[in-house]
Amino acid sequence: MGQFIDPKISEVVDLILNDYEDERTVNQIDIHNQPDKAAVIDVVEKLLKILYPGFYSDKVYKIYSLKNNMSATIEDVIYHLKKQIAIVLKYNENNEAVPEAELDEKAGDITLSFMKKIPEIRAMLETDIDAALEGDPAAKSKAEIIFSYPGLYAISVYRIAHELNLLNVPMIPRMMTEHAHSITGIDIHPGATIGKYFFIDHGTGIVIGETTIIGEHVKIYQGVTLGGLSTRGGQKLSGVKRHPTIGNNVTIYSGASILGGETVIGDDVVVGGNTFLVNSVEKGTHVSAKKQELKMSSGNPEAGAPKE
């Protein structure tokens, strides 16, 4: 039986290996010049330890050794993040002819600039935690929010990735937010701009596009899309404002879709569930979809026509 199968297996192996020989993108196998997805995810998890040292740190460390432990974690992140940034900088067309030593130095400068932003990121996240506690009557404590809320996890990773995006780091910010997306079902592009006191309630199915601008004290529920009207333009739309602007003190209920780069939702607006907006909304407006007509039957086939 083995003699019968082996030649057929060899034929299939050769077929696939020969398919690697052209220049298609899917055939890039130079692993030394590609970012390491596992390493980027590891950096994310270690950054969460730095952002929330009392919640994500290893429990084996006592309070008196926590500072030393965090020092080692910070140095580890700097080393590995710099290494990954140096790799992805090669993907920038402007860096194709730049010597590796120069890219390595640039990666080091970017990494240190990012790490200096950690206190600011932590300050922003404190406001997000406050917003969650204030906005969700089911929340019993800030600790519960940090430990268990997928919305805060997604926001935390977004705020990390956004700072790297502002430093013009290719690819890595998107890898980070897509990792959070895979865990939480919340898709926040690192290019979006989101103000303080941002609260995502429940969260599954939320999409926030690249050029979205969100003000302060904004609360959104599951299934909300802040998206573009059309992607038919492809790369011609790169850099164009394609996603909406959301003002301050706005609440957007579940299933709402707000689309388009020229769509502006004013301050103090409430957008009802399952609404579809492609036009701007003035300050203080309450938007709701027309109530659907419901029909109910008794479920008894002998009962005759449905009750209305």
CB 206 within 8 A of CB 177: no
Q: Are 54 and 174 contained in the same domain? A: yes
- State pLDDT tens for residues 30-79: 655 789 999 999 999 999 999 998 787 665 555 556 677 889 999 999 99
How does DSSP classify residue 295? -
CATH classification of the domain holding 76: 1.10.3130.10
Q: Are 213 and 246 contained in the same domain? A: yes
- Amino acid 181 reads H
Q: Give a yes or no: residue 125 inside a domain.
A: yes
Q: Give a yes or no: residue 169 inside a domain.
A: yes
- State pLDDT tens for residues 256-270: 999 999 999 999 999
Residue 152, burial from CB neighbour count under 10 angstroms (0-12, 13-18, 19+): buried
**Domain edge (last residue) among 155, 185, 215:** 185
Token pair belonging to 93: 């067309």
Return d(Cα 87, Cα 244) in angstroms, integer. 33
Cβ atoms within 10 A of the Cβ of 111, count? 23
Return d(Cα 66, Cα 34) in angstroms, integer. 34
Per-residue pLDDT, averaged over 81-95, amounts to: 89
CA dihedral (188, 193, 196, 197) positive or negative? negative
Q: Are 72 and 143 contained in the same domain? A: yes
How does DSSP classify residue 99? -
Q: Are 65 and 138 contained in the same domain? A: yes
What length does the chain have? 308
Q: Give a yes or no: residue 264 inside a domain.
A: yes
Give the residue ranges of DSSP H helices in 169-271. 172-184
Q: Are 218 and 137 contained in the same domain? A: no
The per-residue pLDDT for 29 is 60
CB 201 within 8 A of CB 221: yes
Q: Are 160 and 271 contained in the same domain? A: no
Question: Which pLDDT band holds residue 22 (cuts at 50, 70, 90)?
Answer: confident
**Domain edge (last residue) among 123, 155, 185:** 185
The per-residue pLDDT for 162 is 98
Question: Which pLDDT band holds residue 304 (cuts at 50, 70, 90)?
Answer: very low
Give the global pTM: 0.86
**Nearest-10 crossing angle of helices 100-115, 63-88:** 140
More confident residue, 264 or 293: 264
pLDDT value at 23 more than 90? no
Q: Give a yes or no: residue 26 inside a domain.
A: no
More confident residue, 237 or 137: 137
Q: Are 226 and 155 contained in the same domain? A: no
Tokens 């929010």: give the residue.
145
Q: Are 275 and 225 contained in the same domain? A: yes
- For a pLDDT cut of 90, what percent of the chain falls above it? 68
245-246/213-214 β-pairing? parallel
Return d(Cα 182, Cα 153) in angstroms, integer. 12
CATH classification of the domain holding 202: 2.160.10.10
Q: Give a yes or no: residue 210 inside a domain.
A: yes
Q: Kindly give, in sequence order, each residue whose CB lies less than 8 Å from that of residue 5, ignoring residues fewer than 6 positions away.
A: none
Token pair belonging to 1: 């039986």
Per-residue pLDDT, averaged over 90-100, amounts to: 79
Q: Are 178 and 211 contained in the same domain? A: no
pLDDT value at 82 more than 70? yes
The per-residue pLDDT for 25 is 73
Closest CA to 252 of 284, 292, 287, 216: 287
Q: How far is CA 196 from CA 93, 101, 163, 249, in A?
A: 34, 38, 14, 11
The per-residue pLDDT for 202 is 94
Q: Are 174 and 202 contained in the same domain? A: no
Question: Which pLDDT band holds residue 300 (cuts at 50, 70, 90)?
Answer: low
The per-residue pLDDT for 55 is 80
Return the top range by mean pLDDT from 57-61, 161-165, 301-305.
161-165
pLDDT value at 85 more than 70? yes
Per-residue pLDDT, averaged over 222-238, amounts to: 82
The per-residue pLDDT for 66 is 67
- State pLDDT tens for residues 190-229: 999 999 999 999 999 999 999 999 999 999 999 999 999 8
Q: Give a yes or no: residue 1 inside a domain.
A: no
Return d(Cα 253, Cα 272) in angstroms, integer. 5
pLDDT value at 107 more than 60? yes
Q: Give a yes or no: residue 151 inside a domain.
A: yes
Question: Which pLDDT band holds residue 231 (cuts at 50, 70, 90)?
Answer: low
Closest CA to 224 of 259, 192, 257: 257
pLDDT value at 121 more than 80? yes
**Domain edge (last residue) among 158, 185, 212:** 185
Token pair belonging to 154: 């997604």
Q: Are 178 and 205 contained in the same domain? A: no
- State pLDDT tens for residues 144-154: 999 999 999 99
Q: Are 132 and 40 contained in the same domain? A: yes
The per-residue pLDDT for 278 is 96
The per-residue pLDDT for 1 is 47
| Count of domains observed in the chain | 2
Q: Residue 262 sits in which domain range?
A: 192-290
